[in-house]
Structure 1
Amino acid sequence: MLIAVYLGLAFIVGIAAQNYRGRRGTPWFLLSLIISPLLAGLLLLASKDKRPAAVAVTITSSEERATNGPIFEKTCPECAEQVKVDAKICRFCRHAFT
């Protein structure tokens, strides 16, 4: 019974490494079998997250939209920088949107 719990916790560490830290799960599973699932879990929490950052959605149309979810952006016609859709003035070149 105790061996099954130990293996289950080691498996959880491997799954957490793969899904929540962007690391390979098998080495973390084996490491948790060797040193203990508790220590391997603590090392995993202390390790850096290797997952790629989420990419923001951008819209480059000139029509105005309400933003109730992701931040939508448009391109300034003067300086070509991305500004929020609801912006009245470009924060980079002070161009006034009509």
Structure 2
Amino acid sequence: MELLLLWIGFAIAVGFLAAKWQRSGFGWFLLACFISPLLAGIFLLIAGNATNQQPRDEAGNFITPKTHVHCPDCRELVRMDARKCKHCQAALKPLV
């Protein structure tokens, strides 16, 4: 009985840590219940914190202030060398 309570307690801890790291807390809790809280915790540590991941555009390139700017009309991010906004079709002046 004590082992079952410990198992569920550690699974809840894995779920809370996953939720804190912007991942599915309930999903990681279920994974920890089914395989093992220790293995799920190791997998979670390998997966890492989702908030540390840098955003990317459709081509897989990192979005940085050096490569992207906000459209003056719709305020969406577009490539700095774009001539037309892909969201609102407004004409842009390339900054390159």
1:44 alignment counterpart: 44
1:73 alignment counterpart: none
Residue 24 of structure 1 and its aligned partner are, at CA, apart by: 1.2
TM-score by length of 2: 0.51
- Aligned-CA RMSD value: 1.5
Match of 1:10, as an amino acid? Answer: A
Per-residue deviation, residues 68-88 of structure 1 (Å, max 9, x unmatched): xxxxxxxxxxxxxxxxxxxxx
1:17 alignment counterpart: 18
Unmatched runs of 5 consecutive residues or more in structure 1: 54-98
**Aligned pairs for 1:48-67 within 5 A:** 48-51=48-51
Residue 52 of structure 1 and its aligned partner are, at CA, apart by: 6.2
Match of 2:34, as an amino acid? Answer: I
1:32 alignment counterpart: 32
TM-score by length of 1: 0.50
Residue 26 of structure 1 and its aligned partner are, at CA, apart by: 0.1
The total of aligned residue pairs comes to 52
- 3-state DSSP class of the match of 1:22? coil
Match of 1:41, as an amino acid? Answer: G
Q: Does 1:3 align with 2:1?
A: no
- 3-state DSSP class of the match of 1:23? coil
When Rg is computed on C-alpha atoms for both structures, the one with the higher figure is 1
Unmatched runs of 5 consecutive residues or more in structure 2: 54-96
Residue 48 of structure 1 and its aligned partner are, at CA, apart by: 3.4
Cα distance in 1, alignment partners of residues 15 and 36 from structure 2 = 12
Per-residue deviation, residues 2-60 of structure 1 (Å, max 9, x unmatched): 100000000000000011x210100000000011000000000000321268xxxxxxx
Cα distance in 2, alignment partners of residues 52 and 6 from structure 1 = 29
